Amino acid sequence: MGIFPACAIRAATDGNQSEWPLPGKTITCRTAERIVKTPPARGQTGGMQKIPSAILKHCLTAVVTLAAVIASSGIALAQTPATTAKDSNATALLLKHAALAGQLAKNPYRRPLVLESSESASTVSGDAYAVLDSPFGTVSATFKSPNRWCEVLILHINTKYCRASAGANPNTLKVNIGKKTAQPLIDAFSLEFAFRQAAASPDYMAAQLNAEKGPLGTSNYRMELSAVPLQEGKTFMHLRYSYSYSVTSRLAMQGYLATLGRGKVGFTAIGTTQPPAYVGGVRGAVERNTMRYYLAIEAYLASLGRPPVQQLDARLGYWFDATEEYSEQLHEVNRDAYLTMKKDEYRRQQAPAVAPV
């Protein structure tokens, strides 16, 4: 039964009044008398007296008023699925912020950041939750642009190249991943990310990068970023980085971890020993890269307060210094080597040359 018939029936059966709240208004349906059940008269099957016309007239007036309020205020009786999903995602992220409040305020990272990871038989993922000092509008504008994504990704030590597809609305990013030292693009792995802006509103944004194929048999590379505004001009964001691997790629990763990657660890402490022991293996690797990508976001946003000609140097210096705060996990090269390599790679990225294969 709908809301309008309910007004007449509840008014007729509940006595003095029934109310339906709307934003800033209340519609009240009053009755002049109570309708009572009576035993059916001989030869009749009904058990309720006829509703007086005065009651019906009053409730009809209430229904008309309710309809007018709905029409004038733009209230929708049913939300579209897209609107409902957006509101649900924004609410879920705000609830996550509340749930992590204690960890964001006090953690080993010395910044409002929580890092998590998980591993299954065929996938691994890392999640970074953080409070950014940048306003939501700036964060949203940055990550709705594939070109700005490239400005962020190139800060990662393993990113050798990133370029968005041509056109007014680019929807792919060509990214080359390689060693932690200078390297010709022909020797780096190439990934093609599809860009999708999943949501964009004044109180929620989400963007995704998806690459179906990766190096050494890996696949389903995903980078997903979502954000909501907080008070005092800050933003709460969630970054997820994940990929899948086959038996072959897992064996290749294990070979790397047993040789060049031996002794490398992530950020999740295992047990209660002092000094702490940290997770290694594939989970450790995904945590390191999730942190590197997060620090690239932080570095890019921090540089926007500088004049444009100073922004690149500011980003590179910020990213390197931030990674050195976690040298046990992230140290790879010295500062001068990183800055020199990245400036060369950035010039290569900006050059109007044919994109690498």
3-class secondary-structure state, position 326: coil
* CA gap 309, 294 in Å, rounded: 23
Taking the C-alpha atoms of residue 270 and residue 84, their distance in angstroms, rounded to an integer, is 40
Phi, psi of 266 (to 5 degrees): -100, -150
Strand, helix or coil for residue 200: strand
Statement to judge: residues 114 and 32 lie in one domain: no
Q: Are 316 and 338 in contact (CB under 8 A)?
A: yes
Find out whether 258 and 252 touch, Cβ atoms under 8 Å.
no
Domain co-membership, 56 together with 102: no
What confidence score (pLDDT) does residue 216 get?
A: 82
Q: Find the CATH number of the domain harbouring 181.
A: 3.30.530.20
pTM higher than 0.85, yes or no?
no
Angle at 211 between CA 316 and CA 204, to 5 degrees: 70
79, part of any domain: no
**Same domain membership, residue 95 and residue 23:** no
Q: For the chain, what is the domain count?
A: 2
- Report which DSSP code applies to 274: S
Cis peptide, bond prior to residue 275, ω within 30 of zero: yes
Residue 127: CB atoms within 10 A of its CB come to 19
Say which residues have a Cβ less than 8 Å from residue 51's Cβ, sequence separation at least 6: 8, 12, 35
Domain ranges, residue 58 = 3-73
Q: Assess whether 92 and 156 both reside in one domain.
A: yes
Encode the chain (357 residues) as per-residue pLDDT tens digits.
443 333 333 333 333 433 333 333 333 434 333 333 444 444 444 444 454 555 445 444 444 443 443 333 333 334 445 556 668 999 999 999 999 999 999 999 999 999 999 999 899 999 999 999 999 999 999 999 999 999 999 999 999 999 999 887 779 999 999 999 999 999 999 999 999 999 999 999 999 999 999 988 899 999 999 999 999 999 999 999 999 988 888 788 778 777 877 789 999 999 888 888 999 999 999 999 999 999 999 999 999 999 999 999 999 999 999 999 999 999 999 999 999 999 999 999 999 855 444
| Domain termination site, one of 73, 108, 129 | 73
